[in-house]
Amino acid sequence: MALRTYGAFIFGQRTSTTKKMLRNMGSAVHPQPQEDFLKGQLHRKHPGLTNLKTLRLPENLQMAAQSIIHRAQIAQLPARAQKLTNFLWSRKRAVEDLTLRQKALGLEKELWEKAMQKTGDLDEKALQDNIRRRVFSELKKKIYHWTPLKFDEEMGVVYMASRLAGGYAAVRRVLNEIKKRDPSFSPQSLLDFGSGLGTVAWASHSLWGGSLKEMVCVDSSGPMNNLAERLLKGDEERAEPSIKHVYFRQFLPVSPKVQFDLVVAAFTLSELPTIKDREEASFTLWRKTSSYLVLVENGTKEGHQMLMEAREALLKKQEKTVHDPRPSSVFAPCPHAMTCPKLAREPTAPCNFQQQYHPLPLAGHKDCQTENFSYLILCRDDPAEEKSGAVAWSRLIGPVLRRSRHVHCRTCSPDGELEHMVVTARKHSRDVYRCARNSEWGDLLPVVQNLDEDEGEAGP
């Protein structure tokens, strides 16, 4: 019995040694990828990481917001703020006139066919009036009635209680990706279109405060501009603003030749009623862009589709008069310039991302909340710029599921396809596997050839 036990132990030791030798041989046959995508960084800090830890509002901004809320003394503010949040989250695009006419004609045709099937004398004039009334009634029930947001001083405070912290968190996270991936970018000028509470100026200042010399905030609402200025001054009329060189306007600069290093429109496209209005606004903002154009919307199906409308127009349509010949290219989140595969394969599931944040301390607010958002970053692509030899990256578009010795990753790849990758050290290299384990939804993951594919190709 002792001999058997000893023999089994020796056999187990030999088997373990053999496995290690085979693994080492496999590493020699299939070396690690040659591209140094880590750039000397640790795996837990690899270059593809774009997520941030739970964000807080800047202290001066939070104190100013709390002071404004205290002075306003608005009844049932937490409930009204939550109601507004629900409204904004469920908001849809306005129905286009052409779509409305097509639905009306289809419904009218259907009602006429039903009426013709009935026997007896028909009063055509009375029947026509009846059908018209029924068409209007049905359209009123079935068609979404879009209305623009209108702000007065009180509504501005409700909006601030509802959206200040979440909006800041989304914008800060999106702009951080530019800071992380393009550390040489030091913008001197910023244009914020649809600036609202001024969160873009605060987020931009936290990243590039040392270089920004001019921040132009454009919003058609006078009360919102006044509220944003109060936030900058800490709710003290005669105080110096926390951020200098911020200028509030109700209209965009007229000259098409005036450009800004960074142009941002956060939660603004959803305030424009038609696709034509949104497309014109997108082209106008692109003309104003010297380096980066950033668009952010709610992380809903509607928000994502509005961003894809803008992306399609700016990448594939040409303006009649071009003042800056440099073409546009997608910087983020898409790792490609092809049609969004989410729209084709999963039209009901938006491409969105998440950021944790601490909300304003109001009754009913949890200590930590999650902001769901969709975004698009376009940049001016210099044709002379050398980009050969760069490592390709996929975008993680869902939660990363970590399991024993493997990681499940849902990605959007550089070839424009959605993939479900099961990343292991054996198949994808130890570096990629460790990067995957340290990544989160929204981060970038390096694309390397599956080592098993190499083995198959090298076989007889």
Q: How many CA atoms lie within 13 A of 258 on its CB side?
A: 9
With cut-offs at 50, 70 and 90, classify the pLDDT of residue 340: very high
Is 45 a domain residue? Answer: no
Select from 295, 291, 216, 217 the least CA-distant residue to 261. 291
- How many structural domains compose the chain? 3
170 and 227 together in one domain:
yes
Q: Which residues span the domain enclosing 413?
A: 393-446
Q: Report the alpha-carbon distance of residue 408 to residue 385 in Å, rounded.
A: 35
Beta-carbon count within 10 A of 94 CB: 20
pLDDT at 26: 40
pLDDT digits (tens, 9 = 90+) for 5-32: 444 444 445 445 544 444 443 433 334 4
Q: Which residues of 179-199 are buried (b: 16+ CB within 10 A; e: fewer)?
A: bebeeebebebbbbbbbbbbb
Provide the CA 80 distance to its chain's centre, in angstroms: 26
pLDDT in tens, 267-289: 999 999 999 999 999 999 999 99
User: What confidence score (pLDDT) does residue 452 get?
Assistant: 55
pLDDT at 354: 97
pLDDT-derived band at 181 (thresholds 50, 70, 90) equals very high
At residue 382, the pLDDT reads 57
Provide the pLDDT for residue 122. Answer: 63
Are both 297 and 170 inside the same structural domain? yes
Instruction: Single out the residue in 142, 172, 203 at which a domain terminates.
Output: 142
Task: Write the CA distances from 390 to 5, 29, 37, 39, integer angstroms.
Answer: 55, 24, 9, 12
**Which two structure tokens, joined as six digits, stand for 54?**
């739970």
Same domain, 305 and 398: no
Q: Same domain for 275 and 216?
A: yes
Q: How confident is the model at residue 408 (pLDDT cuts 50, 70, 90)?
A: very high
> pLDDT tier at 164 (50, 70, 90 boundaries)?
very high
Domain assignment present for residue 180? The answer is: yes
Percent share of the chain, pLDDT over 90: 64
172 and 284 part of one domain: yes
User: What does the pLDDT look like over 59-116, one tens digit per residue?
Assistant: 999 999 999 999 999 999 999 999 999 999 999 888 877 777 777 777 777 777 777 7
User: pTM for this structure?
Assistant: 0.85
CB 244 within 8 A of CB 173: no
Specify if 316 maps to a domain.
yes
Indicate if 297 and 433 belong to the same structural domain: no
Using alpha carbons only, give the angle 206, 212, 213 rounded to the nearest 5 degrees: 140
- pLDDT-derived band of residue 143, with 50, 70 and 90 as boundaries? confident
Q: What is the DSSP secondary structure assignment for residue 271, as one 8-state letter?
A: G
Residue type, 450: N
Distance CA 215, CA 212 (A): 7
Q: Which residue has the tokens 């394969």?
A: 345
Establish if 2 belongs to a structural domain: no
- Provide the pLDDT for residue 169: 98
435 and 358 in a common domain: no
Report pLDDT for 3. Answer: 44
Domain boundary among 355, 380, 405: 380
Mean local confidence (pLDDT), 128-145? 77
Torsion-angle region of 158 (φ positive above 0: left; ψ -120 to 50: alpha; else: beta)? alpha
- What pLDDT score was predicted for residue 119? 52
The reply to whether 5 falls in a domain is: no
Nearest Cα neighbor of 180 from 341, 289, 51 is 51
Distance CA 373, CA 350 (A): 10
- CATH number where 442 lies: 2.40.50
Together in a domain, 65 and 209: yes
pLDDT of the residue at 294: 98
Closest CA to 363 of 36, 79, 37: 79
Examine the domain organization and report whether 124 and 173 are in the same domain: no
| Per-residue pLDDT, 274 | 93
pLDDT score of 184? 95
Of 393 and 255, the one with more pLDDT: 393
Query: Do 331 and 442 share a domain, yes or no?
Result: no
The reply to whether 284 falls in a domain is yes
Task: Read off the pLDDT of residues 223-245 as tens digits, 9 standing for 90 and up.
Answer: 999 999 999 999 998 899 999 99
Find how far residue 340's CA is from the centre of its chain.
Answer: 13
CA atoms of 144 and 306, how far apart (whole Å): 16
Torsion of CA 180, 182, 184, 189, to 10 degrees: -100
Query: Are residue 102 and residue 195 in the same domain, yes or no?
Result: no
CATH code for the domain in which residue 247 is found? 3.40.50.150
Residue 127, pLDDT > 70, answer yes
List the beta strands (DSSP E) in 172-251: 189-193, 214-218, 246-249
Q: How confident is the model at residue 189 (pLDDT cuts 50, 70, 90)?
A: very high
pLDDT value of position 6: 43
- pLDDT value at residue 440: 96
On whether residue 33 sits in a domain, the answer given is no
Q: Is residue 72 part of a domain?
A: yes
Q: Are residues 233 and 307 in the same domain?
A: yes
Final residue of a structural domain among 347, 380, 413: 380
